[in-house]
Amino acid sequence: MTDYFQISDLLTDEHRLIQQTMRDFVKREISPNIEKWAQDAYFPPDIVRKFGEVGAFGPTIPEEYGGGGLDYISYGLIMQEIERGDSGMRSTASVQGSLVMFPIYQYGSKEQRRKYLPKLASGEWLGCFGLTEPDFGSNPGGMLTNIKEQGDHYILNGAKMWISNSPACQVAVVWAKNEAGRIKGVIVERGMAGFTTPEIHNKWSLRASTTGELVFENVKIPKENILPNIEGLKGPLSCLDSARYGISWGAIGAAIDCYESALHYAQQRIQFDKPIASFQLIQKKLAEMLTEITKAQLMAWRLGTLKNAGKATTQQISMAKRNSVEMALQVAREARQIHGGMGITGEYPIMRHMMNLESVITYEGTHDIHLLITGADITGIPAFK
């Protein structure tokens, strides 16, 4: 395992055990199949149960609700190992844990926690998170999806776009405006009349993850399905903090997989009677890849310790997400070059990681939006509008 600065020395025995368990799981359940799943644009439904069994869903949620009761370093390590396998697989797990279980745990009633969390933790149910709309991506506060009170229930109308897991979900945490224009969290269940989840096809990225829309046409929502303890944009944004934190670790996994493949290939591939690893330009690529991976590993680890202490800021998480994903894309591009023509085939994981990362750099806040978050933090001047 690529660990140039001995970051594993900073981990506990429990962290190392969790990392190894997830690595074994990914090697057994994901790596042998992922290339075919991605080529076929196939989301394997069985993986949901398997993720539940191995503890990939909601690792930081307390055990009484079926979660792992683990810390944030453990969560980061789990995301990193899954994303060494595939960013689409990691997306499935991070949506379930950070974007569905987290808001139900953090803002839900006791009844909501009891009803949904154990089923989501075990993988009996798959969840999705509906924030983005066709006309409101980077600016989710403009959303049009809305709820209107009607007697003992609400009526939900609107549409969400680009929703990971949506075509396969049993439950959706949806953000909608009430009559007062305040954003509320709504738990929508498959089977409610007027609720549909059309799939989005023809993606060149995250092909083993299923993505779709959420369409609500006069969906009758019982009042007990509203998250009682949150109002406003800070609800969905706090969920995104948790998911982005996971991505800041996860993307490093994709980078490590590309780097390790490139190193191995460079040592084996002979040109001009020598392994290409003996050429200075190849060594420069490999040395820079490893340097950038190491810097990102250290940033993620430090962010994890801040998160465990309850001190990680949204802005720090933005910086780490942005840095890790850009780094991983650069590593994938360099790795692609080292593999020469072979780098474009499914014989190696490189192009799949690279195409996946083109989504990861856009979702959960685009690369430029995260830069503007850092800019606003250091200057005190928001430059969004």
Residues that bind ligand FAD (CB under 6 A): 95, 128-132, 137-138, 162-164, 206, 211, 359, 362-364, 366, 368-369, 372, 384
Determine contact, residues 96/58, Cβ cutoff 8 Å.
Answer: yes
Q: Which of 81, 326, 334, 364 is catalytic?
A: 364
CB of 379 to ligand FAD, least distance (A): 15
Between residues 143 and 293, which has the closer beta carbon with respect to ligand FAD? 143
- Closest contact distance (angstroms) between CB of 363 and ligand FAD is 4
Q: 187 and 109 in contact (C-beta within 8 Å)?
A: no
Q: Which residues pair with 274 in a beta bridge?
A: 271
- 364 catalytic? Reply is yes
Task: Give the rounded distance of the alpha carbon of 50 from its chain centre.
Answer: 18
Least spacing, CB of residue 318 vs ligand FAD, in Å: 13
3 state SS of 108: coil
3-class secondary structure, 200: coil
Query: Would you call 373 helix, strand, or coil by DSSP?
Result: helix
Nearer to ligand FAD, 62 or 137 (CB): 137
Please say whether the beta carbons of 11 and 73 come within 8 A.
yes
From the CB of 149, what's the least distance to ligand FAD, in Å? 24
Which H or E run includes 163? strand 153-164
Looking at beta carbons only, is 140 or 275 nearer to ligand FAD? 140
Alpha-carbon gap, residue 17 to 30, rounded angstroms: 19
Residue nearest to ligand FAD (CB): 137
**Of 21 and 362, CB closest to ligand FAD:** 362
Q: Say which residues have a Cβ less than 8 Å from residue 134's Cβ, sequence separation at least 6.
A: 159, 161
CA geometry: angle at 270 spanning 264 and 274, to 5°?
Answer: 105
Q: Looking at beta carbons only, is 88 or 349 nearer to ligand FAD?
A: 88
Give the shortest CB-368-to-ligand FAD separation in angstroms: 4
- Name the residues annotated as catalytic: 364
